[in-house]
Structure 1
Amino acid sequence: MTSTENFYDSVGGEETFSLIVHRFYEQVRTDDILGPMYPPDDWEGAEQRLKMFLVQFWGGPKDYSEQRGHPRLRMRHAHYPIGDTAAQRWLDLMSNALDSLDEGTLTTDQRTAIWDHMLRAADMLINSNPDPHERGE
């Protein structure tokens, strides 16, 4: 990265984040744990919101805040029972999405930085203990 280039630019900008998020949601649509958490008529909206969030987080345009205000991720996800099982599945599918990128799209350091953020986000969103999937819900 040059001194004038931010992380967002260095990984390929919106195109890279669009691809990661699209490949993530391709899996979520048919996932037995995460799929039912999403309204079936809002897949495109969910994909757009996650993409805008990640783009803004990593230094791209501030569309997320301009359209939706402060992210408030815990509040926005509070009505979904997210336990360890759902958080791990989210991470599994996100890892698959990252791994699906063409070789050379992300450096090892870039992938690690994105992955570390995903780990923190998944952990922060756990709001159900005991895990609803362990209770058979």
Structure 2
Amino acid sequence: MMDSSMEYGVGDNSYTMAGKLAGISKLVDDFYINMDNFPEAKKVRSMHSSDLFESKKKLAYFLSGWLGGPKLYAEHYGSINIPAAHQHLSVGVEESNAWLLCMEKAIDQQPYEAAFKVYLLEQLSIPAARIRMACGRG
């Protein structure tokens, strides 16, 4: 059980609450399983390669730094501007909602405390909205 006295978003608290890289990798694996299995996510899944190895690694590495842990994405791939990196895709409300649904269900499967689950999904909705706006389908 994680320490519920930790304040999310401070230092590496969110990274720790997510189970560090091992926990984040499990979350990412469950997320992509959902993307493969949820009919609502078919269009979003089609935006990815059939082999998800690199996508999983990039998302786990991004989330590591984004949650206050090691900046693995930057170390391995350089800096990233999330909206700009997705501009070539057609992402509207439907696609954004499908992505968030897959993530919400993946978060639900993790052993996180309830308040952290809510916090994490709320935080992830911010870049999801920024991507949607950058793709011009706000």
Q: Distance in 1 between matches of 2:20 and 2:46?
A: 30
Q: Distance in 1 between matches of 2:19 and 2:127?
A: 22
Q: Distance in 2 between matches of 1:53 and 1:100?
A: 20
Contact 2:12 2:69 in 1 (8 A): no
For 1:101-134, what per-residue CA distance to the aligned partner results, in whole angstroms no more than 9, with x for missing partners?
A: 2xxx21222112211111111111112438xxxx
Q: Distance in 2 between matches of 1:121 and 1:13?
A: 21
Q: Distance in 2 between matches of 1:10 and 1:65?
A: 21
Kindly state the Cα deviation for residue 90 of structure 1 after the two structures are TM-superposed. 0.4
Q: Distance in 2 between matches of 1:40 and 1:29?
A: 10
Select the structure of larger CA radius of gyration: 1
Which one of the candidate residues 4, 8, 15 is aligned to 1:8?
15
| Number of residue pairs matched by the alignment | 126
Q: TM-score, normalised by structure 2?
A: 0.81
Q: Distance in 1 between matches of 2:13 and 2:108?
A: 22
**Alpha-carbon distance change, 4 to 25 in structure 1, aligned in 2, over 3 angstroms:** closer
Q: Which structure carries more helix by proportion?
A: 2
Does 1:129 pair with 2:137? Answer: yes
Equivalent position SS for 2:43: coil
Q: How does 1:1-137 map to 2 (within 5 A)?
A: 1=6, 6-30=13-37, 31-41=41-51, 43-101=52-110, 105-126=111-132, 127-129=135-137
AA at the equivalent of 2:57: Q
Kindly state the Cα deviation for residue 65 of structure 1 after the two structures are TM-superposed. 0.7
User: CA RMSD of the aligned region, Å?
Assistant: 2.1
Q: TM-score, normalised by structure 1?
A: 0.82
Q: Which runs of at least 4 in structure 1 moved beyond 2 Å after TM superposition? A: 1-7
**Alpha-carbon distance change, 85 to 70 in structure 1, aligned in 2, over 3 angstroms:** same
AA at the equivalent of 1:72: N
